[in-house]
């Protein structure tokens, strides 16, 4: 459904003017809707429907219009073809909807983020580079995609893919994602991860703004505050069980070595990374 043009907005401190065109596509087949919205054939040059960027925003996200402008500004300034805000899942351990390939397992997994990373962002003096992190894939709940990425890839751009049974590869999700009760590891690739993997094959990187915490509406609005609080709780439980502060990886990653840790180099004694939300959350809720 076409919703038409929204008022143009100039990004503060730049010459960039964003002309918004709002579309929504209804339907139960999410990959089909996403493909319909990005298809260059229906968004031709010289028409009102031409776009330089497409921005996907899921209906259960909590966000501000300025954050869309921030993603565009960062994309232009740092040449970021696929750039996302930081969203989390609505169930414990509230992992961020970003994915990196674990070098030990070869699986594409959702990483844990050391909370010290957010302290460093808060203390960076507004250095945007401190917030931008390379990943291998993101969920499409709040993501900006440049047009040249779409044009470089043959359709379908988004698609669900069952990868069957077999050994790990960079396009597999981790083995905790199974289908059915057969005991078989049936690996499944979501339509958004499928797109990022396909884009990477064409040389386009995916990035996330670690300082842009998008809310995920459920029983309440979940965000990175919940991920950090969950890590802190797990750390406290492990310490009560007799784990030593030096057991950094075990304390921070509730699933052990199967998951990457963003900011592992800053863990220190292993407890610093889970000491609590700190300045980042205070600033978020202030």
Domain interval for residue 181: 2-223
Tokens of 208: 């996330």
Residue 137 belongs to some domain of the structure: yes
| CATH number of the domain that residue 201 is part of | 3.90.550.40
pLDDT tens string, the chain, 286 residues long: the values are 344 556 677 777 787 887 776 777 666 667 777 878 777 656 665 566 677 898 999 989 999 988 999 999 999 999 999 999 999 998 887 889 998 887 776 777 788 787 778 888 888 878 898 899 999 999 999 999 999 999 898 888 888 776 554 444 444 454 444 333 333 344 567 889 888 989 999 999 999 999 999 999 999 999 999 988 887 777 777 777 776 655 544 445 444 455 576 765 544 433 333 333 332 332 233 2
Angstrom distance (rounded) from CA 159 to CA 10: 34
pTM listed for this prediction: 0.78
Q: Which residues pair with 82 in a beta bridge?
A: 145, 206
Residue 150 belongs to some domain of the structure: yes
Residue 254 belongs to some domain of the structure: no
Residue 41 — left, alpha, or beta (φ > 0 → left; ψ -120 to 50 → alpha)?
alpha
Residue 248 belongs to some domain of the structure: no
Residue 242 belongs to some domain of the structure: no
> How many residues can be counted in the chain?
286
Nearest C-alpha neighbor of 253 from the set 276, 273, 279:
273
Question: Would you say 90 and 99 are in contact if contact means Cβ atoms under 8 Å apart?
Answer: no
Residue 57 belongs to some domain of the structure: yes
Neighbours of 66 (CB within 10 A): 11
Q: Give the 3-state secondary structure of residue 138.
A: strand
Number of domains in the chain: 1
Residue 247 belongs to some domain of the structure: no
- Give the CA radius of gyration of the chain: 20
Residue 62 belongs to some domain of the structure: yes
Give the CB-side neighbour count of residue 283, counting CA atoms within 13 A.
12
Burial of 59: CB neighbours in 10 Å, binned 0-12, 13-18, 19+:
exposed
């Amino acid at each position: 459904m076409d919703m038409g043009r929204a008022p143009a907005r100039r990004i503060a401190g730049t010459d960039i003017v964003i002309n918004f065109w709002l579309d929504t596509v209804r339907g139960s087949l999410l990959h089909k809707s996403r493909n319909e919205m990005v298809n260059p054939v229906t968004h031709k040059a010289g028409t009102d429907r031409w776009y330089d960027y497409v921005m996907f925003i899921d209906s259960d996200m909590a966000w501000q219009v300025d954050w869309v402008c921030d993603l565009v500004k960062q994309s232009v300034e740092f040449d970021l073809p696929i750039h996302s805000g930081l969203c989390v899942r609505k169930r414990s351990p509230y992992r961020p909807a970003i994915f990196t390939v674990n070098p030990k397992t070869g699986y594409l997994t959702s990483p844990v983020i050391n909370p010290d990373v957010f302290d460093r962002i808060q203390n960076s003096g507004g250095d945007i580079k401190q917030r931008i992190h390379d990943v291998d894939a993101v969920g499409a709940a709040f993501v900006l995609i440049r047009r040249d990425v779409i044009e470089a890839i043959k359709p379908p751009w988004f698609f669900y893919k069952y990868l069957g049974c077999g050994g790990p590869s960079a396009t597999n999700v981790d083995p905790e994602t199974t289908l059915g009760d057969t005991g078989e590891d049936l690996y499944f690739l979501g339509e958004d991860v499928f797109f990022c993997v396909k884009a990477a094959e064409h040389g386009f990187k995916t990035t996330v703004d670690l300082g842009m915490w998008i809310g995920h509406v459920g029983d309440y609005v979940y965000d990175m505050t919940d991920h950090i609080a969950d890590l802190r709780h797990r750390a406290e439980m492990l310490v009560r069980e007799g784990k030593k502060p030096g057991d950094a990886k075990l304390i921070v990653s509730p699933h052990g070595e199967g998951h990457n840790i963003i900011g592992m180099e800053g863990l220190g004694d292993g407890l610093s990374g889970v000491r609590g939300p700190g300045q980042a959350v205070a600033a978020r809720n202030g």
